[in-house]
Amino acid sequence: MNDTITKILLHWGLEKSEVKQIYHTAWQVGEQYVLKEYQNREMLERNLKILRILDDMKIPVGKIVPTRDNRQYISSEDALYFLAEKLPGKHISHFGEDMGLAFKMGEIIANLHIAFQKCEDVEGLWNNSLLDEMNGWVKSSLEEAGWKYISKKEYEETTEQLALVYDSLPVQLIHRDVHFGNFLFENGVFSGYIDFDLSQRNIRIFDICYFLLGLLCEEESSDFSEEMWLPFLENVFAGYESRLEISEAEKRAVPYVMECIELLFVAYFEREQDARCAEDAFHLYEFVKKREDRIYESLHAGRSAFPEGEKMCRATE
């Protein structure tokens, strides 16, 4: 594979650079660049258009580096590749009780959503619906598995709660994979967004709900606990609302969106025959289900107090 990457880098005159694989479809090239591989041309071209629009708006994303003959990407051996400038900063790994960071993350997600509104005319955007997924492949998968984790009756009740408010929820382009791994910080200051591979048009609160659920998944590998989750949620939403208003319908829908996201993961991991991850996802569904009222109350509690200028969490060393 290294020989293949070296040949690809000839197109940028970087064949002598040190290369380090950082993901199964991404390589760091020297200290300045990241090379990404795609199998799907439509996905690649859509992502490049989004990156160009965001970059033109001065949103911190990896700037596309053209080849020596001024191409945006190249094709080689049934795969497609593009090169981008490597953003400064690292991923946050410890966040503990940092409610300042929670508020800031709400602002960061809202700023991305504001910028995404300028990308709505990008050709080939994936129009998706969480409700359609729940009534489609998710339900079919759980049914095929014999309703192993949740009864059909409880599943339909959960889906119906979302259906009652779904048509009133704002839809726009979203990131769809919001977690700390896709946000970079340098010396405690936000430095950039990465990975738009799953970006799609969907309900906008999906991004916030997905991010907050992910914090519970990371509990064992960080200094975060379930007790901190509701205050963190309160401050993330407060930060978001400092930039974009969240409707009452969206606030009502938050616990149901979270529950449906976890049931989606149950169905996905059932298909993958990953029993442990499917069980973990169902436990998160139950966690949210038991706290529906507290979640809704937290969304109306307003911003928790935290010291002005509080230092944000350190990035991974």
Confidence of residue 227 (pLDDT cuts 50, 70, 90): confident
What's the pLDDT tens digit per position in 164-193? 999 999 999 999 999 999 999 999 899 999
Confidence of residue 316 (pLDDT cuts 50, 70, 90): very low
- Decide the pairing of beta strands 33-38 and 26-29: antiparallel
pLDDT computed for residue 98 by the predictor: 86
pLDDT computed for residue 308 by the predictor: 41
Q: In percent, how much of the chain has pLDDT > 90?
A: 83
One-letter amino acid of 39: Q
280-286-288 Cα angle (round to 5): 105
Helices of type H across the chain: 2-9, 41-56, 99-116, 130-133, 139-144, 152-166, 205-217, 226-241, 248-271, 275-289, 292-299
Confidence of residue 220 (pLDDT cuts 50, 70, 90): very low
Average pLDDT score over residue span 70-90 = 95
d(C-alpha 159, C-alpha 132), whole Å: 10
What's the pLDDT tens digit per position in 265-304? 999 999 999 999 999 999 999 999 999 999 999 998 754 4
238 pLDDT above the threshold of 70: yes
pLDDT computed for residue 217 by the predictor: 83
pLDDT computed for residue 307 by the predictor: 39
Average pLDDT, the chain: 91
Q: Against a cut of 0.75, is the pTM above it? A: yes
Confidence of residue 2 (pLDDT cuts 50, 70, 90): confident
d(C-alpha 215, C-alpha 235), whole Å: 14
Q: What stretch of H or E contains 200?
A: strand 200-203
pLDDT computed for residue 229 by the predictor: 93
pLDDT computed for residue 223 by the predictor: 61
pLDDT computed for residue 120 by the predictor: 87
- Decide the pairing of beta strands 64-65 and 171-174: unpaired
Give the distance, in angstroms, between the CA of residue 64 and the centroid of all CA atoms in the same chain.
Answer: 21
pLDDT computed for residue 7 by the predictor: 94
111 pLDDT above the threshold of 60: yes
Both tokens of residue 236?
Answer: 């993330």
Confidence of residue 218 (pLDDT cuts 50, 70, 90): low
Confidence of residue 1 (pLDDT cuts 50, 70, 90): low
Average pLDDT score over residue span 248-270 = 97
201 pLDDT above the threshold of 90: yes
Confidence of residue 313 (pLDDT cuts 50, 70, 90): very low
Average pLDDT score over residue span 59-75 = 97
Confidence of residue 121 (pLDDT cuts 50, 70, 90): confident
